[in-house]
Amino acid sequence: MYTKLHFRPYISNRLVLFPQRIDEDIAENAPVRIINAVIDSLDLENIYKLYSELGRNPYDPGMMLKVVIYAYMSNIYSCRKIEDALKRDVHFIWLAGYEKPDFKTINNFRNRVKDEIGNIFTQLVLLLAEQGLVSLDVEYIDGTKIESKANKYTFVWRKTVEKNRAKLLEKIKMLLRQIDDAVAQDWAAEQEAVEFTPETLSLLIDGLKDALHKEDAPQDKEQKKQRREKKRQIRQLEEHRDKLSEYDGRLEQVGSRNSMSKTDPDAIFMRMKEDAMNNGQTKPGYNLQISAENQFITDFALFPNPTDTLTLIPFFNSFLERYHRLPSVVVADSGYGSEENYRFMDEAGMEPYVKYNRFHLEQRPRYKPNPFHHDNFHYNSEQDYYVCPMGQHMTRIGTSHSKTASGYRSESARYRAQNCKGCPLRCQCYKAKGDRRVIEVNHRLNRYKKTARELLTSKDGIRHRGRRCIEPEAVFGQMKTGMAYRRFRHFGKDKVTMDFAFFAISFNLKKMCSKIAKQAKNGGNTPHFGLFMPVLRFLHSENRIFRKNHQKSVT
């Protein structure tokens, strides 16, 4: 017997296609709901103040903030792609309340809140601290280099600019000697000891033009030729003036740095780990420093330094400005182990689980100290002298001082042997000229290294060293690989900082959602599950932690 086939009715253009409540297709514990609740709990008063009461009604800043943060959580960083998601993705449609801001409005919002988005990040970290997810007492610090949006061929090297500027000044002086005019000769004589500036050259050019204008009209070919030659020299002097102004501007932008990018003056050229050509080519970028705890980003800062040594103290100042306190325990690698940093942490009362440059070498099982290195010489602290491998006393002969790039003055004691002539160990001990070896010892740094060594080899030090590999390193791995955030998309340090602040907020929220989902999957039978209950109550209550009642309407 034949049976007729029946299918479900299919009408693609029916009037009511979506359900009356669009959130029916969104899970109860979906990350978008948690983001909506958490952002509603924050204080957005300063963001509301950025809008004017006049003009057309703007989109709600809270809605825009939720959309941008959720887009960053979804690895969407382009404003045009966010605009498309607001039309196609049900999560974005529900979160935005079916509002459809275009890409330009989204970009303008990000630029508008660039000075306040850091406060939103701080509030979120304080919320995590209140829920017990971070303590802000133990901070794992590390840095990574992220490429700028600028082209890799827009480099400006300070030494090259200084060299070309010196050559240009010589050309200007030679040109003034060639100009047969009393005004130019006077200027050339006055500027022998003082360098030219674009302003002085402008005054000189005006004087030459006035002198040329006052001359009588040329009568013969020879006079016309001389007049044309003077005009050519004035034009050439104007070109030199403009070029000198360009060089001065470049040097002012570079400052104390060695390089910069023409299109992104805040970025400097440095070698990146992501080297596709494997030739060590430098690229414009920023040195991103973060502090992490339980794989949450607790603070971040961007620096134009290719190394990490000079970034630690400014980073702690950023942490202090953000939370009005400093961590009690600091864990970092050997890139931060300098006397200046150790002294700052010691005076601030922090425990420095920070390695120095030879710590890994000393911890190797087959490590044998070099008996000819001055760190391994016997030191008599009472009489202040060293004993070399041959038993000679090395007496103190003075003190040397050095200054770091940040202005910190370091002091080293100098010791000299009595006589090294004829010593059988002379060829192994040192290779410098002279019959008496001289060593320099930084006693303060040695004391700091000893303290750091004792901390790092203790039980807590071993635990912190093991966790350091899975704290900031894991954050960088998830950031670059999991969330595809490998390159900045803005020019200028202020906009780059704004962009990463959005990313840091989304990263912490994504990590929090992941922990909530993991705890819920385990049925709450794991430690600290109760810490997530206040966050989960956001989904069903009107409780707010930070937000104040906003009485003023935004128009």
pLDDT along the chain (555 residues), means of 10: 71 66 78 90 90 85 93 94 92 90 93 92 93 90 90 88 90 79 56 71 82 78 83 87 90 86 88 70 90 93 89 92 93 90 92 90 85 87 88 89 87 89 83 85 91 92 90 91 90 92 94 85 53 48 42 36
SS3 of 302, please? strand
Helices (H), 215-274: 221-254
Structure tokens at 157: 């090297």
Provide the b/e sequence for 439-464 (b: ≥16 CB within 10 Å). bebbebbeebbeebbebbeeeebeeb
Please state, in angstroms and rounded to a whole number, the distance separating the CA atoms of residues 302 and 501.
Answer: 11
**What is the pLDDT, as a whole number, of residue 430?**
83
**What is the pLDDT, as a whole number, of residue 324?**
92
Least Cα distance to 72 among 40, 128, 64, 27 occurs for: 64
Please state, in angstroms and rounded to a whole number, the distance separating the CA atoms of residues 216 and 222.
Answer: 14
- Kindly give, in sequence order, each residue whose CB lies less than 8 Å from that of residue 130, ignoring residues fewer than 6 positions away: 545
pTM (2 decimals)?
0.84
Contact 423, 429 (CB under 8 A): yes
Structure tokens at 331: 């864990």
Residue pointed to by tokens 């390159």 = 487
The DSSP bridge pattern shows strands 329-332 and 138-147 to be parallel
